[in-house]
Amino acid sequence: MLQDKGKEVVLSTLGLITNREELEYTRSLIDLPFSIEINNIGVLNLISNNGDINRSGTLAPDRSGILPDRRLIAGPHLAVYNAPTAKFFSDLSIKRLVFMPELHKDAIESISSNIPSIEKKIIGFGNLPVAFSWRCYTVRALEMAKTNCAIVCKKHPEGMQLETMDGMPVFNINGTQLLSAQKACMIGQLDILEALGIEYLRIIPQERNTVDIINTFRKVIEGVITSQDAVEVLRGYAPEGLSNGWFHGQAGWEFIEKGNLEDSSGEYTQSYLQVYPK
């Protein structure tokens, strides 16, 4: 149905595969004829050269032939920090890269300029995934057993908020994942993202107002409203505040309403960023 409407269906694998049930679930996703977002590098070991599931757990000898009839996407949890890593995944037939949340724009610029052939996507709005755990944070906080949890996380659809001793919201506990309390927002950086070659934005679904958030981004893109007006609208959907500090080389919780490519010093990237040779 979605494909008939011109939509691309993308199935996302788990970021952390911890048991046989989750492994079989992952294999069932790969069996389906849709694009696959890979969020655990071990998933590549499940894929063989001819497009079948590789039950032996070994990588296909000819990496360039991995699922040639399927679009493979590198998710934000594959830790792609630089151009050589992006090139590695591009050589594995990865067609699109979803940048990890904490990536500085200098690193994004390096990847985009050195690997222009790969499609690029970034999280445009939502609580950022910070960490995963085999244990369920919510169950542990409520002193329950994970094996008999009754899916208690449903009672906390936005997660359980953690605050600093000063009362500042810092994290949201949501099942097995730890999220940022502030909602990332790139609405004021759309021109920068375009200059960096970003082609897609990810709006992380919210418990409420997701459609309104998407429409707000659309209005800015179409020039109906300014990004400044949009920020004020989106603040109403983010009581804990907006953030985009990592993108600008600042503390992750900080928010820069409007920036440009020359804003930051780039000190964050100098210690580790490798420039891929052209």
What pLDDT score was predicted for residue 262?
53
3-class secondary-structure state, position 135: coil
Q: Within a domain: residue 274?
A: no
What pLDDT score was predicted for residue 259?
61
Return the structure tokens found at 20. 């046989």
What pLDDT score was predicted for residue 119?
95
Q: Within a domain: residue 29?
A: no
Q: Within a domain: residue 21?
A: no
What pLDDT score was predicted for residue 101?
94
The DSSP bridge partners found for residue 119 are: 96
Q: Within a domain: residue 169?
A: no
Q: Within a domain: residue 165?
A: no
Q: How many structural domains does the chain have?
A: 1
Residue 266 pLDDT class (50, 70, 90 cuts): very low
Domain with residue 231: its CATH number is 3.40.50
Q: Within a domain: residue 62?
A: no
Q: Within a domain: residue 25?
A: no
246: containing domain: 71-126+184-258
What pLDDT score was predicted for residue 128?
95
For the whole model, what pTM was predicted? 0.84
What pLDDT score was predicted for residue 157?
84
3-class secondary-structure state, position 97: strand
User: Which carries the bigger pLDDT value, residue 64 or residue 162?
Assistant: 162
Q: Within a domain: residue 190?
A: yes
Helical spans, DSSP H, in 17-157: 20-31, 83-91, 105-114, 137-141
What pLDDT score was predicted for residue 69?
63
